[in-house]
Amino acid sequence: MPHQETGDDAVRENHANIWQQIARTRPEKIALVSGDRRYTYEEFEQLAEKAAGTLSSHGVRSGDAVGFYLHNTAEFLIAFYACLKLGATPAPMNYRYRGAEVAELVQTSQPKAMLYRAASREEAAEAQRLLDESAPALWVEIDDDSAPQGRGPEGAISFDELLQGPRHEDSGPISPDGELYIFTGGTTGRPKAVVWEIGGLMDIQGSSTYPPIGLDIPETLEQAVGIATSESTPQVNTLPLAPFIHATALFMSTNTLNVGGTVVVNPNASLDARAAADLAIREHVTQLIVAYDAVALPAVEAFEEHPDRDELAVQSVLSSGMRFSDETKARLHRVAP
C-alpha cells in the first residue's frame, strides 16, 4: 500500500489532541449537525470516548484497522474520532460495493472491526460469510432509517450498543503515529489503499485550512488549539456532498473541526439536491464539498431555483476527485458571489 510523504519540517499532530481541547475549553460549540440532531464538542468527545472504549474491549489496539462501510453520517465521524484516540487505522470503503467487493477490501486492510449501514445489512453479511474465519471479530450496524430486509452479520451490535461500553480516557497527548487508509476507485485495476500518516495530515492540509479564513498556519499544537478555541476565529460550516470515502470530503471535514467549526452532515446516501440546498441555507454553510459536475451541477441548479437563495452564505466550493467545468463554476459564482 503506497504511503503519502510529508516534508521534514512537517507539523506532526493528531487531530484528536485539538478536538479534545475544544471540548474542554469551548464545550458548547457545535461540532456536528445531522438532521435535527446537533452535537456539541463536549458530546462529540464523550461519544468518541465511549466508542473507543467498546472498540478497545473488543480487541482493537493501536495499529489495528477499523472498516467504515458507510455513507456520510455523524456516526462515521464519531467512530473516526474514536479510532484516532486509540491509534487505530480508519479504513473507509465504498458503501455502494457488494459483499464480494467488500470482502476483497477487508482482505487488503485486515480490520478488527467493521461499521456498516443498515441498508447494506445483507451485503455485510455476505462479506462476513465469504471471509469466514478471516472476518472482523466485531460488526457494528448504523441505523439509517432504511427499513432493511434480511439478516445482518452474525453477532453484530448496534451503534447504540457501541456507545454503552466503558469510556476510553486519554492519559495524555495522543500519538500522531497512526495511519488512515483511503482506497482508490479501482478504475485501473483492483482498489488499492493509499496510506496517509495521521501526523502529517495537518501539515499537508494547513494551506487549505487556515489561509482561506485569513489566518496564519499554526506551527505548534498550542497555536492550533488557540485558533480553534478563540472567539475571533471565523466560523466555518462545511457541508460535504461528496462522500467521506473521497479524501477531499473527509479531509476538509477534519480541517473544519481543527478550527472549531461545524460539519453539517447530509445523511442521505444519494444526492437530493433540493434537500442539500435547504440544508446549506438553513445551516449557513460557508464551505461546500462536491464531486465535480456530477454533484456540483445539480447543487447549483437547486440554489438557482431556491426561494431563499439570497441567504446563501457559501464562500468556497471544493471539488473532490476531478475539477468541475468552468460553466458550473461561473454559475456558482453568480449564486454565491
Q: Quick one: cell of 94?
A: 465504498
Reported as a single tens digit per residue, the pLDDT across 102-118 is 999 999 999 999 999 99
In this prediction, residue 2 has a pLDDT band, given cuts at 50, 70 and 90, of low
Question: CA nearest 291: which of 269, 271, 308?
Answer: 271
Please say if the pLDDT value at position 212 is more than 90. yes
- On whether the CB atoms of residues 121 and 99 are closer than 8 A, the answer is no
Domains belonging to the chain, first-starting first, are 41-197 (3.40.50.980), 199-335 (3.40.50.980)
Single-letter amino acid, residue 25: T
For the CA atoms of 36, 39, 40, 42, what is the dihedral angle to 10 degrees? 150
Around Cβ 130, how many Cβ atoms within 10 Å?
16
Residue 186: what pLDDT? 58
Cell of 110: 485486515
- Check pLDDT > 50 for residue 9: no
Question: Strands 287-290 and 237-240, how do they pair?
Answer: parallel
pLDDT value at position 8? 41
pLDDT of 325 reads 87
207 Cβ neighbours under 8 A, 6+ residues apart: 217
Q: What is the pLDDT of residues 159-181, one digit of tens each?
A: 999 999 889 987 788 999 999 99
Quickly tell me which residue has 506532526 as its cell.
12
Strand, coil or helix: 104: helix
Please report the pLDDT score of residue 323 as a whole number: 75
Fill in the DSSP letter of residue 324: P
CB 290 within 8 A of CB 296: yes
Question: CB count, 10 Å around CB of 272?
Answer: 14
Count of C-beta atoms within a 10 Å radius of residue 2: 9
**Residue 78 pLDDT > 80:** yes
Rg, C-alpha atoms of the chain: 19
Say how far apart CA 309 and CA 224 lie, in whole Å: 34
Local structure of 62: helix, strand or coil: coil
pLDDT digits (tens, 9 = 90+) for 226-281: 999 999 999 999 999 999 998 999 999 999 999 999 999 998 888 899 999 999 99
Q: Compute φ and ψ for 14, nearest 5 degrees.
A: -95, 125
* Start-to-end Cα distance in the chain: 42
State yes or no: pLDDT of 6 exceeds 50: no
The grid coordinates of residue 206 equal: 494547513
* Number of residues in the chain: 337
pLDDT at 18 over 90: yes
Higher pLDDT, 11 or 128: 128
The 8-class DSSP code of residue 252 comes to H
